[in-house]
Chains A and B, each alone.
Chain A
Amino acid sequence: MTSSPTGITYCKCLCVVICSLPTLLIPPAMRAALLIQRWYRQYVARLEMRRRCTWNIFQSIEYAGEQDQIKLYNFFGYLMDHFTPASSERNLISHIFRENNICHNVDWERYFCYKSIEVPELYSGPHLSFPITCSNAAELVEAFKNKQQLHSRYVLQLLGETWRLLRILPNISQISTCHNKEITICGDLHGHLEDLLLVFYKNGLPSSEKPYVFNGDFVDRGKDSLEILLILFSFLLVYPNDVHLNRGNHEDHIVNLRYGFTKEVLGKYRYVSALRPPKRKRQNRSGMTDSDLEDDDPTAKSVDSSRRRVHSLTHSSSTGTRHEVQRRSLQGLNNRVTCSVEEELKERRRQAGLSQSYGDLRNSLTNSDSDPDPDSGELLESYGDEWKQIVDMLWSDPMPQDGCVPNEVRGGGCYWGPDVTEEVLRRHNLTLLIRSHECKQEGYEFCHNRRVLTIFSASNYYEVGSNRGAYIRMGPDLVPHFIQYQANRATRALTLRQSVGRTERSALRALREKLFAHKSDLISSFQEYDPENTGLISLGHWAGAMEAVLRLGLPWRVLRSQLVGDTLDGMLDYHLWFRELAITEPNTELSNASLLETMYKHHSNLETIFRIIDTDNSGLISFEEFRQTWKLLSSHLQTEISDEAISDLAVSIDFNKDGSIDINEFMEAFRLVGGDLLQNEGDPH
């Protein structure tokens, strides 16, 4: 909320008049009004500053989380490098990688066997018939609006049909518009079903007269990722030429393990009868996860969250589609029937798209003696290149400066500048690059001289009231028109103060968790500024230490008033401060404080690893797997964790006392139990 130019001009004239009068001559009502206006504008400015900072907090924590994700891939790399065939952890590692191999060949067909699943009479949800019709799809939308769940038989059938279609679609689609046929383009949805429903309500359902493009990141974070996918897939099947789904960085198996989609699917379809033969644990899921399906999305493989608006018809000159490359390389791989662990891990690393390892990847491929197929070396190299391109497309962000540099904040892809945009658009004879991937306060934002447009369709992404969502309508003039919205009726009733307050509390809670995870590092850092051990440091030193340890790039001096209470002459009692932050230790009876802190710092990665280990998706892992994971992680992190400490931990976590650990319960135990301020705040995601 800042003064408009015309306002200033007007006021200046008035103020010149007012200021030149002796105070007593200014009528009291005007003086009072001036005072109130001055006071209120100050307040609004402070709110705006708080809103900005809150935004910064969320973004930097989000991106730090993504960095963590990439660090996880590094952990896998570490596994590759440090474990010899003789080590006992080898079984665990090969188990992890073998079971998570994504099937791209026809074998997949058998996973979509829905026929043996009966739909009981009592089922009151929607019934789908195939080939699916547009009324089926509309019915599905209505059903989900009414919080119904689709029966697993239909889910499997739908997924099977979608998989068959996606396999044959090209990587790059061409669409054209005309006067009666405007295109609608949506950005990230992230499991926010209410936003998708709002878009359909305002804009109408997809049809041949109403084509849609969905620009990736349909899943994770929000709680209805599965419903969104099912809706999008059904419209894709009904209108394959008019509904286009592009892949985002969240259409990725490993990302889903971390960011909530896998967990959501397990939660919603946990008690379905098993189709796969039971393994060593209880088996309660049927078929493949949807995330495996997503990785196969062919539209995605070249044109991803950066979607190009094709102004004229151009044909892709790439050397064949993704699937052809896959088939050839698989033929090469099939010769190696018994894969060694090392080779499997290399494969996995490639699949994870580690951009920094491409140098050594190239080397290792050409030096590989164990490869019996002379041709596959070359193919695997181009396979590696292709993955690098995919990571670049799915993870990169625009930056204001010219050039192209690695995206260290996210840990994958790059930052590209306006010069790169110009060059790419010129080379392909395009006018505009529409992409998503970054949350924007107004739902959309131009940059690079209006040549790059970011569109983001998940409103209230960080918290209720944090941002609007938007979608684009575009006619033959190719001029984007924006429609903005904010789902959740409550937000529209919130005042600026309330919505800033709420978002801020949420951000501060997330920030406090980070503080706890780094408590001992922070205390050491504070102590460096306090050589005489008085327990006090200046606020300036506090800010310096916070940034040095947390590295979040946040404006600590500006946030100070939200994080620090009373000070004594500008000096902060840091031990007291930690206590007052009302951060208490998580809900377990562990005495080992440093183990606790390590757990907290890495709990996200831990959860991801556990879900990877849990290959039959039962939500449970055995003690032995738990222990081995810890040993691996602790040697990677170079921390000392004794077997005894791990056993204690395992025992304290085994709530059901049946020898296996429920991953959800484990993660619950490590949710921070905060003071009054933090309770009853409910997880927005």
Chain B
Amino acid sequence: MAEDKESAEAIVSEVHKKIRAAFDVFDHEFNKTVDVREIGTIIRSLGCFPNEGELHDAIAEIEEEEPTGYIRFEKFLPTMTKVLMERKFRPIPEDLMLQAFEVLDKQKKGHLELEELTKYMTQEGEPFTQEEMEEMLSAAMDPDKNLIFYKDFVSMMTVDDPR
């Protein structure tokens, strides 16, 4: 029992260090604060897949009573620890991703047209900004044909994941 407690503490301690390491990357002034606009990047880099709404809620929890535009580490740590220990915002498996693209590909062509994908991404769900759309297209689209072969795209992105 004592061992379990010790190993539980060790696990938490390691989680704290992980969170601290990711936080520090964006702590430009070395004063244990980061710009609130970087919190999404930090949370996601720790392996979480929140959507924008969930992110917004998390930020609301971490922010000061009177938002300063900065998030302090003392407030970030407990929230983030809970997120990681409870495995909230789980990753999306590759096959589910594929299915999602297939849903959009109504005619089952095996690819999406530029306009189709753009329409969905910028008008549905939690829409992309123009910048986000352009970046996705530059990564996903075959420039000669203006088509998105989503199966290849999903495989490529999954390979990039070092986890």
Which residues of A are interface residues toward B (Cβ below 8 A)? Answer: 1-5, 7-8, 10-12, 14-16, 18-19, 28-46, 48-49, 52-53, 56, 400-401, 495-497, 538-540, 543, 555-558, 561-562
Which residues does chain B contribute within 8 Å of A496, judged by CB atoms?
135, 138-139
CA distance A400 to B52 in the complex (A): 32
CA distance A500 to B141 in the complex (A): 18
Q: Whole-angstrom distance from the CB of B69 to the nearest CB of chain A?
A: 10
Q: Which of B38, B42, B124 contacts A33 (CB 8 A)?
A: B124
Q: Whole-angstrom distance from the CB of B143 to the nearest CB of chain A?
A: 9
Residue from A16, A496, A562 with most neighbouring chain B CB atoms (10 Å): A496
17 A-B pairs in the complex with CB atoms less than 8 angstroms apart? A2-B37, A2-B39, A3-B56, A12-B56, A15-B51, A31-B100, A32-B100, A33-B124, A38-B49, A39-B49, A39-B100, A44-B132, A48-B45, A52-B26, A400-B30, A555-B25, A558-B21
Query: What number of residue pairs across chains A and B have CB atoms under 8 A from each other?
Result: 169
Q: Which of B50, B101, B124, B138 contacts A38 (CB 8 A)?
A: B50
CA distance A45 to B51 in the complex (A): 12
Taking a contact as CB atoms under 8 Å apart, the answer to whether A49 and B120 are in contact is no
Q: Which of B39, B92, B124, B163 contacts A561 (CB 8 A)?
A: B163
Q: Whole-angstrom distance from the CB of B56 to the nearest CB of chain A?
A: 5
Chain B 28-57, CB within 8 Å of chain A: the 1/0 string?
111100000111111111001111110110
Measured CB to CB, the nearest residue on chain A to B43 is A45
Measured CB to CB, the nearest residue on chain B to A559 is B21
Taking a contact as CB atoms under 8 Å apart, the answer to whether A1 and B135 are in contact is yes
Taking a contact as CB atoms under 8 Å apart, the answer to whether A19 and B96 are in contact is no
Taking a contact as CB atoms under 8 Å apart, the answer to whether A2 and B97 are in contact is no
Q: Which of A8, A42, A540 contacts B56 (CB 8 A)?
A: A8
CA distance A42 to B158 in the complex (A): 12
Which residues does chain A contribute within 8 Å of B96, judged by CB atoms?
35
Taking a contact as CB atoms under 8 Å apart, the answer to whether A543 and B17 are in contact is yes
Measured CB to CB, the nearest residue on chain B to A561 is B162
Q: Which of A1, A34, A556 contacts B126 (CB 8 A)?
A: A34
Q: Which of A44, A53, A540, A562 contacts B25 (CB 8 A)?
A: A53
Taking a contact as CB atoms under 8 Å apart, the answer to whether B136 and A29 are in contact is no
Which residues does chain A contribute within 8 Å of B97, judged by CB atoms?
35-36, 39
- Classify the secondary structure of B's interface with A: helix
Chain B 119-163, CB within 8 Å of chain A: the 1/0 string?
011001111110110011011000000000000000001001111
Which residues does chain A contribute within 8 Å of B125, judged by CB atoms?
14, 30-31, 33-34, 36-37
B85 an interface residue at 8 Å Cβ cutoff? no
Give me the 8 closest cross-chain CB pairs, A-B, nearest first: A15-B53, A45-B44, A33-B125, A49-B45, A33-B124, A561-B162, A34-B125, A557-B21
CA distance A53 to B26 in the complex (A): 10
Q: Whole-angstrom distance from the CB of B67 to the nearest CB of chain A?
A: 11
Taking a contact as CB atoms under 8 Å apart, the answer to whether A7 and B129 are in contact is yes
Which residues does chain B contribute within 8 Å of A52, judged by CB atoms?
25-26
CA distance A40 to B140 in the complex (A): 11
Which residues of B are interface residues toward A (Cβ below 8 A)? Answer: 10, 13-14, 17-18, 21-22, 24-26, 28-31, 37-45, 48-53, 55-56, 91-92, 96-97, 99-101, 103-104, 120-121, 124-129, 131-132, 135-136, 138-139, 157, 160-163
Which residues does chain A contribute within 8 Å of B10, judged by CB atoms?
540
Which residues does chain A contribute within 8 Å of B41, judged by CB atoms?
1-2, 45, 48-49
Taking a contact as CB atoms under 8 Å apart, the answer to whether A34 and B51 are in contact is yes
Taking a contact as CB atoms under 8 Å apart, the answer to whether A45 and B40 are in contact is yes
Taking a contact as CB atoms under 8 Å apart, the answer to whether B40 and A2 are in contact is yes
CA distance A5 to B52 in the complex (A): 11
Taking a contact as CB atoms under 8 Å apart, the answer to whether A33 and B121 are in contact is yes
Taking a contact as CB atoms under 8 Å apart, the answer to whether B40 and A35 are in contact is no
Q: Whole-angstrom distance from the CB of A486 to the nearest CB of chain B?
A: 15
- Contact A3 to B40, CB < 8 A, known contacts A11-B126, A41-B52: yes
Q: Whole-angstrom distance from the CB of B16 to the nearest CB of chain A?
A: 10
CA distance A7 to B28 in the complex (A): 25
Taking a contact as CB atoms under 8 Å apart, the answer to whether A495 and B18 are in contact is no
CA distance A18 to B53 in the complex (A): 10
CA distance A502 to B37 in the complex (A): 26
